[in-house]
Amino acid sequence: MNLFGRSKLRWCVGLSALALLGGAAFSACGDDNIPATTTIASTGADTSSAGVTSPAASPTTNPFTSVDGIVDPTNHGWPRDVKGLNGTITIEHKPTRITTMSAGFDEITLGLVPVSRIVGVGSATKNPDTSSMSTEVQDVPTVGRDPESVASVSPDLVVASPTQKADVVAAIAKLGIPIVQLNLDPTPEGRISTILLLGYLYGEEDRAVTLANEVQKRYEAVTAITSKKPDADRPVVLSATKYTSMFIAGSGTTGEGIVTAAGGINAGTKSGIVGNATASLENVVATDPDVIIIPMAAAPGAAYKAELMNAAALANTPAIKNGRVFVVPPQLYTTNSFETVRAVEHLAHILWPDDFPAADPPPFTLPTGQ
């Protein structure tokens, strides 16, 4: 299950698929426009002058050609058109006051533009337990999802999540605020396409290409090793949380994708669990995991770990007997952005410390000025 692959962009590692945050399972292999051994080339476009359309780039060097939503990938001037879930929207000029209506979009945006161009973020983005970029946005206003809150920060571009209600999107548009509702595609190629599409929206094409290449290289550095692990050596890994109820990550989940890409066998998938399903200690026993990971904040995660370690029903479970239960950072393991690659790196260290000696994966680079 891979997080970042090529379909149209040809980033395919041959593992089974990931759907982030409970999406449907998918296959990541597909046709190619860019050879797998190369990095995505910069367009070389001048994106600074409004009203100027750059010369058409060659399809073999323009990574935006295959990105859904870009109406004319040869146009790197202003205005430019993008097609969202709410129709074709014209962006008249390079946006300097951006806000989004999704924590995932917030994180991707922070990877593309300086924080000075972001006028509001959601509360989840400012919470260190749910976002690895919370430090960068502590001085940015918290913005609600209603039209009045959005309008209060005077954005010149709003990016809405696919789950946002159509009447809310329409109400923001009626206020004269440019708003594009995009599909937050959970597939590997979709995640990269989102980076490129948002980079195009923001007039940061070269930065988007740089970030996409960085994500690709780090992901492939892990999977180049983990994909070669014999099935017999792969540990069965259970990803579980408990708040009011216990949940186990089955097929089509963030947990499944991270576990598989890191070289493990997802316990929930092996047991036939679909999605993030409520569970009991009997389900844990049935999965017979070698390793248990708990993507929760430190204090509640430690309490849940203690509960599992002390449960008599789990005494003979390999993960419990061998002390292989780990509280892992939820801001990496539950995000809806490219930050999940860091979770793969983190778990690869737990599963294969000789191959991956670094315990704390470094953050991705941020734009100049941030």
Q: Give me the long-range contacts of 230-235 (CB less than 8 A, separation at least 24).
A: 231/265, 234/263, 234/264, 234/265, 235/264, 235/265, 235/289, 235/290, 235/291, 235/351
Domain ranges (residues) in the chain: 96-177, 231-351
CA–CA separation, 34 and 6 (whole Å): 9
Does residue 342 contact residue 361 with C-beta atoms inside 8 Å? yes
Integer Cα distance of 14 and 5 in angstroms: 9
Q: What is the rounded distance in angstroms from the CA atom of residue 146 to the CA atom of residue 150?
A: 6
Per the confidence metrics, is the pTM higher than 0.85?
Answer: no
Domains 96-177 and 231-351 share a fold: yes
Per-residue pLDDT of the chain (370 residues; tens, 9 = 90+): 334 433 333 333 333 333 333 333 323 333 222 233 334 455 555 444 333 333 344 445 789 998 999 999 999 999 999 999 999 999 999 999 999 999 999 999 999 999 999 999 999 999 999 999 999 999 999 999 999 999 999 999 999 999 999 999 999 999 999 999 998 776 667 788 999 999 999 999 999 999 999 998 999 999 999 999 999 999 999 999 999 999 999 998 888 989 999 999 999 999 999 989 999 999 999 999 999 999 999 999 999 999 999 999 999 999 999 999 999 999 999 988 999 999 999 999 999 999 999 999 999 999 976 5
* H or E stretch covering 343: helix 340-351
Architecture of domain 231-351: 3-Layer(aba) Sandwich (3.40)
Fold exhibited by the domain 96-177:
Rossmann fold (3.40.50)
Which H helix or E strand runs over 286?
helix 281-287
| Whether the Cβ atoms of residue 293 and residue 239 lie closer than 8 Å to each other | yes
